[in-house]
Amino acid sequence: MKKALITGITGQDGSYLAELLLEKGYEVHGIKRRSSLFNTQRVDHIYQDPHTNNQHFVLHYGDLTDSTNLTRIVQQVQPDEIYNLGAQSHVAVSFESPEYTADVDGMGTLRLLEAIRLLGLEKKTRFYQASTSELYGLVQEIPQKETTPFYPRSPYAVAKLYAYWITVNYREAYGMYACNGILFNHESPRRGETFVTRKITRGLANIAQGLESCLYMGNMDSLRDWGHAKDYVRMQWMMLQQDTPEDFVIATGLQFTVRQFVLWAAAELGVSLRFEGSGVDEYAVIEGIQGDGAPALKVGDVIVRVDPRYFRPSEVETLLGDPSKAKERLGWTPEITVQEMCAEMVAEDLKIAQRHALLKKHGYELSVAVEG
Ligand code: NDP
Ligand code: GDR
């Protein structure tokens, strides 16, 4: 039975990847951070009681800032594959906490690679690094592919640039099977609430149920190539099953604005919106309502406004990936379209909002606030 170790197992990708590897018969180990509240909601459904025999899913306390801890876990698990998905992954937050982001996202990657090397596991343990389209940053070429030059535009992207190159370097220097997946944005109902797609689907569902009145957004012109996390974790696994380690771009090859995503999400709730104004004065007003997905709304309501607090000090305006290498070499293509994904996210967030609305009706007030 193969053993995998996943950092960031409690995150969006970690949870989908753990499910996939368990289905494939792996023994899955994951690193979770100590937290004052439970932080395992995304993997609770696959949790296995450590008191039972034959456990295939094991969580270890740890942190990418702690090399002693990482080395001990790698030594204990002796993994065939390590997926380094753990990160301070929010671009806007990286401007607030640049040093921490560099430590976790950059140095954390080095710490894991060194653990493999120091333990003499270079020939046994394969290593996947969660690299990102944010490396391309300021546009040098469209669409972006494996050979496109990098120009990072945030402390997050700069930290990930270090992680990218240290992964390449350990492959070249020590002959390790180590590779980078350069993944473009991928989302799902498990996406963190402060990333733009989830902020939109959750915010609009809450507004439709009368739990909030307006969604405040940043740059509506930003263009992203959005895929579904389920499709993307499949590719993470495929990348570690090849004869030789290589880096791959994972994307859909289509891009849309943030504004377009708002329109799709609203349409899923039966609401048609009209955008007015531009820049910081942009807002969206309801033109029409069909169906019963938005009982708290009426035509003429303004439910989206721009707030410059969500602008970034330096923005990545446009990302569009060229996934041809992944298609040709690995036969990978995404199966879920961005519109299907948006519909799934709205449906899930609407269920949550409906539950909260019901609780509120019976006197239980739940916090719905999200900054990000
Ligand atoms: P999430 O933010 O959902 O998950 C990040 C995970 O990392 C969480 O499990 C988090 O723990 C953990 N983590 C954070 N800090 C530390 C730390 N100091 N030590 C150990 N673990 C830590 O990210 P995604 O699942 O969306 O992304 C997975 C990876 O892929 C990340 O590295 C991200 O940068 C990268 N990436 C993501 C893309 C996307 O569009 N989703 C695109 C390209 C790359 P906790 O749950 O406790 O917060
Ligand atoms: P990104 O994702 O920065 O691309 O990083 P995010 O969803 O945060 O932003 C995408 C674009 O939307 C614009 N935007 C807003 N973003 C947020 N979060 N909140 C808003 O209110 C808002 N309004 C507009 C942003 O400015 C940006 O242009 C994600 C993360 O998962 C990274 O870890 C990963 O590496 C990259 O995707 C690929």
- Ligand 2 centroid from CA 19, angstroms: 25
CA angle at 161 for the pair 157 and 163, rounded to the nearest 5°: 115
């974790």: which residue's tokens? 233
Closest by CA position to 128, among listed 250, 245, 24: 245
- Report the nearest-CA residue for atom 9 of ligand 2: 196
Q: Enter the tokens of residue 11.
A: 């995150």
Helix (H, G, I), strand (E, B) or coil at 89: coil
pLDDT of residue 28: 98
pLDDT of residue 34: 96
- 306 close to ligand 2 (CB < 6 Angstrom): no
pTM: 0.98
Angle between helices 196-208 and 338-361 (to 10 degrees): 40
Say how far apart CA 300 and CA 5 lie, in whole Å. Answer: 52
- 133 close to ligand 2 (CB < 6 Angstrom): yes
Contact 289, 266 (CB under 8 A): no
Q: Enter the tokens of residue 45.
A: 């459904």
Could you report the average pLDDT of every consecutive run of 10 residues in the chain (372 residues)?
A: 98 98 98 95 93 91 98 98 98 98 98 98 98 97 98 98 99 98 98 98 98 97 98 98 98 98 98 97 98 94 97 98 97 97 98 95 80 76
Q: Which amino acids bring their CB within 6 angstroms of ligand 1? A: 7-8, 10-14, 31, 33, 35, 39, 63-65, 85-89, 104, 130, 132, 183, 185-186, 192
- Report the nearest-CA residue for atom 13 of ligand 2: 219
Q: Enter the tokens of residue 8.
A: 């960031």
pLDDT of residue 120: 98
Largest separation between any pair of C-alpha atoms in the chain: 66
Q: Enter the tokens of residue 335.
A: 């199966």
Domains recognised in the chain with CATH numbers: 3-183 (3.40.50.720), 196-222+257-316+337-362 (3.90.25.10)
